[in-house]
Chains A and B, each alone.
Chain A
């Protein structure tokens, strides 16, 4: 059974993000995926890369030790889904810290003679399910950093066959039917994933 790692970062159970996350989990499970739900807030993930980790960052034999379980989950995945809000045109700190600490040299990418090469060739599909307070126009003017990080930087270390970016902009002005339409889109995308 193919395995999907869903990395979720939102602290409030009644949020639209939590509802979208639930839909991702149930739709993938119903479509025959073995789903690994990595809820960073619920698991109490510590996002702060320490001084010791920074010193040992490039030692590929030992750098995974502080986060071995998270690395194993990433390596066991055939698909990778991020589910999170955008805050201040970036990932929530808890998710950014997951990148800092888990997407390590030797795990996500290799650095040989100053040349980067991708490592996560186990992952065939990836998706991001996300919400912005800002309008799409304002996010565009800001250069949409979280979208670029996902579609370019993460893409570069995964090189998946399929990539989807499913975003709801302008949450500050969203209506109930807008929320429902977003959730329906998430369901539809996950059914076709």
Chain B
């Protein structure tokens, strides 16, 4: 298993960094090859520029400014995001990673004929994990429609094989969270990571189901 972990938080020592460590621990225990990208630490530049948009459809030129990230994305079969939810969505830093790295001919293929839609480009990725924290309550997040969760689980999820395995875990009401609730959540993150990487995958189990 080749796992790419995209981590986005400005403060080391935050609860989000503990979530990251829990995920990494489980991945390591399973023997996965891991690549960790800490977007704040590496000073990722999240703003898609006019020049990049001018040659947006030219795959080679387009990938050049972010070629390491594109290589990681093409290398992995498991993609995991760990980040705080701000304004019900992804931090600008992480949103910019999507804008600049999920490129045409990398993450998706542009329509070939009028009336068509884009087609999937991340068909080599079999697992998607999303781990976040929210200041808002579960209820308020649901009422708003969980934009951040949907951007990743559906927006990015659309680019993966239809039957890719997906897991999500969020801790809500972060501003008033007690120590017990936080450690409970870390156990949940661990369990969800195990669920993501463990056991037989549905794709292969469907193929090997015994004929009766």
Listed in ascending order, the chain A residues whose CB lies under 8 Å from chain B are 11-13, 15, 41, 47-51, 53-55, 58, 87-94, 96-97, 99-100, 103, 111, 114, 116, 133-135, 138, 141-146, 148-149, 152-153, 156, 172-173
> Which B residues are CB-close (under 8 A) to A152?
143-145
B99 on interface, CB distance cutoff 8 Å = yes
Q: Do B98 and A47 touch (CB < 8 A)?
A: no
Q: Do B98 and A96 touch (CB < 8 A)?
A: no
Within 8 A of A (CB), among B142-172: 143-148, 150-151, 154-156, 158
- Give the Cβ gap from A95 to chain B, nearest Cβ, in Å: 8
B114 on interface, CB distance cutoff 8 Å = yes
Within 8 A of A (CB), among B92-135: 92-93, 95-96, 98-99, 102, 110-111, 114-118
B196 on interface, CB distance cutoff 8 Å = no
Q: How distant is the Cα of A172 from the Cα of B57 in the complex, in angstroms?
A: 12
> Which A residues are CB-close (under 8 A) to B53?
11-12, 15
B138 on interface, CB distance cutoff 8 Å = no
Listed in ascending order, the chain B residues whose CB lies under 8 Å from chain A are 10-11, 40, 46-50, 53-54, 86-93, 95-96, 98-99, 102, 110-111, 114-118, 136, 140, 143-148, 150-151, 154-156, 158, 173, 175-176
> Which B residues are CB-close (under 8 A) to A12?
50, 53-54
Q: Do A88 and B155 touch (CB < 8 A)?
A: yes
Q: Do A96 and B91 touch (CB < 8 A)?
A: yes
> Which B residues are CB-close (under 8 A) to A92?
47-48, 95, 99
- Give the Cβ gap from A88 to chain B, nearest Cβ, in Å: 4
Q: How distant is the Cα of A94 from the Cα of B115 in the complex, in angstroms?
A: 30
| 20 additional contacts (CB under 8 A) given A90-B90, A153-B144 | A11-B48, A47-B47, A47-B96, A51-B10, A88-B98, A89-B151, A90-B151, A91-B89, A92-B95, A93-B96, A94-B47, A94-B92, A97-B46, A111-B175, A141-B154, A142-B151, A142-B154, A142-B158, A145-B148, A172-B118
Q: Do A11 and B151 touch (CB < 8 A)?
A: no
Listed by A's residue number, 12 A-B pairs whose Cβ atoms lie within 8 Å are A11-B50, A41-B50, A47-B47, A49-B91, A89-B154, A93-B47, A114-B173, A133-B118, A134-B117, A135-B117, A143-B150, A153-B147
- Give the Cβ gap from A163 to chain B, nearest Cβ, in Å: 15
> Which B residues are CB-close (under 8 A) to A142?
150-151, 154-155, 158
Q: Do B145 and A99 touch (CB < 8 A)?
A: no
Q: How distant is the Cα of A41 from the Cα of B140 in the complex, in angstroms?
A: 32
**Chain B residue at minimum C-beta to C-beta distance from A45:** B47
Q: How distant is the Cα of A160 from the Cα of B203 in the complex, in angstroms?
A: 49
